[in-house]
Amino acid sequence: MVNFADDAPGYLTIRMAAPDDPVAELADVEAWTAREKYPQILSAGYPAFGIAREREQGGWELHSSMVEIYPQSARDDLGSICRRQAARAEEAGDAESQQRYQALAERLDWEKIDEVELDARHRVVRAERFIRSGPDGPEPPRSSDPDDHQQRDITDELNPATGFVMDPTVPTGTSEGILKTDLIQLLPAEGQFPPDVCEDALRASRTHPGVVLLPAAFTVAERVGGRWRPTGMMDAPTPFRARDILSMRLRVSEPVERRLTPEQQAVYCAAADRLDAEQSCEVTVEDRLLRIIRVERMIRFGPDGPESPRPSEHDPEDPIMVQDQRLRAQGVILDEDTPIVLDEGAKQLQRLFEAEMARRGKPIPRLAENEE
């Protein structure tokens, strides 16, 4: 256990308190049980990025879901926030603020900026992702995890991270407090990661020594040759959403990516049917075992708040206007009115997607021209 002096800064404290309601009590018990059944804490791979807003009353509030895998995608979200703020200022007749917010949005079109000052500071923040694992493989969802059972309508979507307040001084349950102390000490092993990644992680442990745990996210892992590996699916906010995405993948993208025969495609659709009907966390298709797994997410905190992207981050995307300028220099002129011509794989993907949306009772317009 980590102990600090009574006058230690808030971000250095780990406060624990007894759960104040039955749901929180169950969550704390399940978290403790998970320590025994899934004792290993492993990296879930790439970090996640989102936008947080500083609060006057303390702490930072998540302004967007922590699902972006590249920092630039979060910066694009930051630009959208600036434009919405500019529109509100214009409606309110505040020309000065409107011009300032619009200027920030236009800077973000050209520059990689991780923080802007609007009505409050808005910052691109970084979350490390972890999974628990044991002899049976990675941990599946817990019964105490919030879920939006079978609510496919996007307006009803539950995301426990939306509006989540990150404040290191807020007390947590005993199990979560112990998990914080475990995660604080985790650093990438030298020799298994590039030197700059290890150096940045060590530096962050000093500059941002506090931690806040976000609500868990959910993704899919696959057992291959006796070993589990992530499928690369984007994190989902609830177990149902992860299951729903997996069901869509089995019916739509996997047949195209794996070039399945009609007979194999029928096997994958049957597996998706079982997944939907049983609402389970696992499904077997051919010789593959797929499992919905739980992802812990941690944001480091320092004196100035949550950690931003690190210099060693994989950040292959450029701001939108930089991309546009480069394409124009190459003689590529983007025209929104030009029909998109799809190759055979993309046509098949579109057909399967439209058929699945129709099966779900949600027909959609055709996405592009299919013929030249």
pLDDT digits (tens, 9 = 90+) for 207-243: 998 889 999 999 999 998 788 988 888 899 999 999 9
The stretch 1-30 carries a mean pLDDT of 66
Q: What distance in Å separates the CA atoms of residue 316 and residue 10, rounded to the nearest whole number?
A: 35
Which segment of 4-8, 175-179, 339-343 scores lowest on mean pLDDT? 4-8
Q: What is the pLDDT of residue 338?
A: 64
Angle value at C-alpha 345, between 258 and 327, nearest 5 degrees: 120
The stretch 97-118 carries a mean pLDDT of 95
Question: What's the pLDDT tens digit per position in 19-57?
Answer: 677 777 888 888 888 889 999 998 888 899 999 999 999
DSSP line for 114-125: SEEESSSEEEEE
The stretch 187-196 carries a mean pLDDT of 84
pLDDT at 368 > cutoff 50: no
**% of residues, the chain, pLDDT over 90:** 55
Within the chain, how many helices (H) and strands (E) appear?
Answer: 10, 12
Q: What distance in Å separates the CA atoms of residue 126 and residue 311, rounded to the nearest whole number?
A: 12
Q: What is the pLDDT of residue 12?
A: 62
Q: What's the pTM? A: 0.86
Q: What distance in Å separates the CA atoms of residue 206 and residue 64, rounded to the nearest whole number?
A: 27
246 and 219 in contact (C-beta within 8 Å)? no
Q: Which amino acid is at 167?
A: D
User: Smallest Cα–Cα separation from 148: which of 283, 293, 279?
Assistant: 279
The stretch 238-267 carries a mean pLDDT of 94
pLDDT at 155 > cutoff 70: no
Structure-block tokens of residue 188: 């990438």
Alpha-helical regions (H) of 186-258: 195-207, 239-248, 254-257
Q: Give residue 150's pLDDT band: very low, low, confident or very high (50, 70, 90).
A: low
Q: Give residue 7's pLDDT band: very low, low, confident or very high (50, 70, 90).
A: low
Q: What distance in Å separates the CA atoms of residue 65 and residue 47, rounded to the nearest whole number?
A: 13
Question: What's the pLDDT tens digit per position in 165-191?
Answer: 998 887 777 777 788 888 887 888 787
